[in-house]
Amino acid sequence: MAGSVGSENPIQRLVRGFREHPITEAAGRCTTSTRHVSKRAKARALDIGHPLVVLVRGSKQMAADAKTYWAEAGGHEKHKEWRDLVVFVFAVCAVAAGFQPYGVLLLIAVWAAAATYLGRDRPDPGKDPETDAHIARLQSAYNGLVPYLMDTHDPDERFKPGGGYRSGFTEWEFDEADRLVALKIEYSPFFKDGEADARAKVERALEGKIGQANEYLYDWDEEGNKLSVRILPPLPTGIPAQPWKVAEIEYVLGFTDPTSTARLIPVQLTGEPGGEVPVVELAPVVWRHGRFAAEPHLLVAGVLGSGKSNLLRSLAAQALGHGHLVTAVDAEHTGHFDEFTGRDGVIRVESAAAAALDLLDWVAAESGRRAERLRELGANDDTLIAELAKPLWVFVDELPALGEAASRAGLADPQDILADLMRAGRTTGITVVLSCRAERVGELRATVRNQAHARVGLGQLPPAASTALFGGTLEIGGPAVLPPGRGFARVGGGPVVRLQVPVAADVVGALPVLVGALVEDGDPAEEVGGLGEPEDE
Ligand SMILES: Nc1ncnc2c1ncn2[C@@H]1O[C@H](COP(=O)(O)OP(=O)(O)OP(=O)(O)O)[C@@H](O)[C@H]1O
């Protein structure tokens, strides 16, 4: 700036001096605030004077109608006679009424009623009922899509240069903050919606027009040639894991939009050191767990560093908090489960392939023992069954990595063992939680993947992974990199909802209530559910 001041000529300097003079600045401020005040006053005056405006508008309309009637009827001799008669009768009635007690008041009331009716606010039949701001935003989105969805073979020409947004968009929704939150689009049957590239172009164009900061959920209906888009503002991040106020059988996967669930729970946020801890109400994504649960197993897929292990740790802490038993396999040797080792309720945490396979074999044997004892007990004594089949959780972080390591070591495929465990898990009270990198979802066997009915996808998933997780042609769009713990979840056949997983960075330090004390002596495996002593494998 200094350079620009130095190169000014005397006239520019004079103008700048005048502009920056305190009096000029004060006058500018005064003008701006006066403009605001006068705008507000005008709006208020219009509000208060609205009935008067309606009366005046109605009276003008009445006068105009009367004039038209007079002029039109005057053009034809027969009509003219009839008109004169009508006016005469009307005048006589009005005068007669006026001479009655309260007659003048009655005439005024009739006039006011007629004027109010004629002057009422009526939408212009040819005008788009949307506000100008909404029209501009929708039209801009439409224009952005024209190059990608235009198709000269489309008999309906839904997308064409100069076309109106109503020809391509069938539904839209703005929220109370005037944000576009949903959009339904109908496109040409010839658009190649089966091709990921073609879909991606449409998605990126839409994001460019509506805003990159949002997150998007695209639901392509290839059969109906329709695209349904949900546009979502970012969710809150950094929610610390804590004992959640939910039912005994409920596990909090994370939090979502209040519009996606029917409930809110109190959540403590991280406060300033020494200050008060703020508590807010957030909408939880809950996974119901327990014997005979509809979705007993969970699959978490995500891109590198998207927070998969964090979610597994958060669930392990919740399971321990409910007094359940936990086993974990840390296939990539990340140490994410080390702090659970030796805690009350934690049976074993393994990372080496041989030890992990040994652990899975032990769980399989435990599953068999449970199944046998449950068969003996029959379906008669539910309380006893519930007591004996203490829920046992198996966390496998990065299952494909474990499979790879096992195959290198010439060991059995862990997916075979897990598939059997998952099949029996509903009755034996064994829950399997698996994680895997998004690009390796395809390496999971159908027998494993299809039994994990609760699904979480973290980070910006490649289309193949999100299709494998959530089915159909559902795609997640928006920023290229999402914050850790951000993704989508679907529990069973429920809707796909957005998800922000809480941070479970220091579960032992932050959640001593849940994680429990270190067990000094004894083999926790021997305490398993009382359904029989684990045998040496
Ligand atoms: N929900 C979350 N909120 C905030 N930070 C998180 C969240 N989840 C994970 N993180 C942080 O992101 C980083 C990666 O987390 P994590 O190791 O759980 O990811 P990951 O997907 O398992 O990684 P990888 O793909 O390497 O196995 C860690 O520093 C972790 O503290």
Domain match, 394 and 482 both:
yes
Task: Tell me if 348 is assigned to some domain.
Answer: yes
Atom 1 in ligand 1: which residue has the minimum CA distance?
485
Atom of ligand 1 nearest to the CA of 336: 17
Do 347 and 459 lie in one domain? The reply is yes
Indicate whether 360 and 446 sit together in one domain.
Answer: yes
Same domain membership, residue 142 and residue 110: no
Q: Tell me, what amino acid is at 338?
A: D
Domain final position from 64, 90, 119: 119
Same structural domain, 407 and 503: yes
Domain membership of residue 54 as a residue range: 50-119
CB atoms near residue 136 (< 10 Å): 12
Let me know if residue 143 belongs to a domain: yes
Q: Are 228 and 355 members of one domain?
A: no
- Find the 352 Cα to ligand 1 centroid distance in Å: 21
Q: How many domains does the chain have?
A: 3
pLDDT of amino acid 4 = 41
Tell whether 303 is in a known binding site: yes
- Which residues lie across from 167 on neighbouring strands? none
Domain boundary among 87, 119, 151: 119
Q: Which residues contact 74 (CB under 8 A, 6 or more apart)?
A: 80, 83
Predicted pLDDT at 294: 83
pLDDT of residue 404: 95
Region of 397 on the Ramachandran plot (φ > 0 left; ψ -120 to 50 alpha; else beta): beta
* pLDDT at res. 212: 78
Q: Is 186 in the same domain as 156?
A: yes
- Which two structure tokens, joined as six digits, stand for 52? 């008067």
* CATH (domain of 402): 3.40.50.300
Supply the pLDDT for residue 532. Answer: 41
Q: Are 444 and 399 in contact (CB under 8 A)?
A: yes
- Domain for residue 34, yes or no? no
The reply to whether 313 and 411 lie within a common domain is yes
What's the CA-to-centroid distance between 261 and ligand 1, angstroms?
Answer: 25
Cα distances from 130 to residues 51, 137, 180, 207, 229, in angstroms, run 24, 11, 13, 22, 19
Residues 331 and 419 in one domain: yes
Angle in degrees, CA 525, 397, 423, rounded to 5? 65
In sequence order, the 6+-apart residues with CB closer than 8 A to the CB of 359 are: 327, 329, 348, 350
Distance 504 CA to ligand 1 centre (A): 9
CA of 305 to the centre of ligand 1 (A): 5
- Within 8 A by CB and 6+ apart from 225, the residues are 186, 187, 188, 189, 191, 193
- In a domain, residue 32? The reply is no
Position 5 scores a pLDDT of 41
Q: Atom 16 (ligand 1): residue with closest C-alpha?
A: 307
Q: Please give the distance, rounded to the nearest whole angstrom, from the Cα atom of residue 309 to the centre of ligand 1.
A: 6
In a domain, 251, yes or no: no
Is 412 a domain residue? yes
Q: Are 291 and 431 in contact (CB under 8 A)?
A: no
Give the HSE-up count for residue 515: Cα atoms under 13 Å, Cβ half-sphere. Answer: 20
Same domain, 201 and 321: no
Q: What is the pTM of this model?
A: 0.69
Rounded Cα gap, residues 528 and 347, in angstroms: 8
In a domain, 138, yes or no: yes
Query: What does the pLDDT read at residue 406?
Result: 95
Best of 310, 435, 500 for a ligand 1 pocket test (most atoms within 8 Å of beta carbon): 310
- How buried is 488 (Cβ within 10 angstroms: 0-12 exposed, 13-18 middle, 19+ buried)? buried
Do 387 and 342 fall into the same domain?
yes
Burial group, residue 30, by CB count within 10 angstroms (0-12, 13-18, 19+): exposed
Residue 430 bridge partners (DSSP): 392
Q: Identify the CA nearest to 306 among candidates 244, 237, 388.
A: 237
Any domain includes 357: yes
306 is known to lie in a ligand binding site: yes
Q: Are residues 218 and 308 in the same domain?
A: no
Q: Which of 178, 208, 232 is the last residue of a domain?
A: 232
Q: What is the CATH number of the domain that holds 168?
A: 3.30.980
The response to whether 302 counts as a known ligand-binding position is yes
* DSSP H stretches of helix in 326-398: 353-377, 382-388
Q: What confidence score (pLDDT) does residue 3 get?
A: 36
Give residue 230's identity as a one-letter amino acid code: R
The pLDDT assigned to 537 comes to: 36
| ipTM score | 0.98
> How would you classify the pairing of strands 392-397 and 265-268?
unpaired
CA of 307 to the centre of ligand 1 (A): 3
Ligand 1 lining (C-beta closer than 6 Å): 237-238, 302, 304-310, 332, 484-485, 501-503, 505
Cα gap 306→458, rounded to integer Å? 6
What is the best residue among 239, 303, 304, 309 to mutate for testing ligand 1's pocket, by most ligand atoms within 8 Å of CB? 309
Q: Is 307 annotated as a binding residue?
A: yes
pLDDT along the chain (537 residues), means of 10: 49 68 64 65 77 87 86 78 86 88 89 86 74 93 95 88 94 89 94 88 91 82 91 84 89 89 88 79 90 86 94 93 92 91 90 95 92 75 63 95 95 95 88 95 93 92 84 65 88 88 79 57 50 41
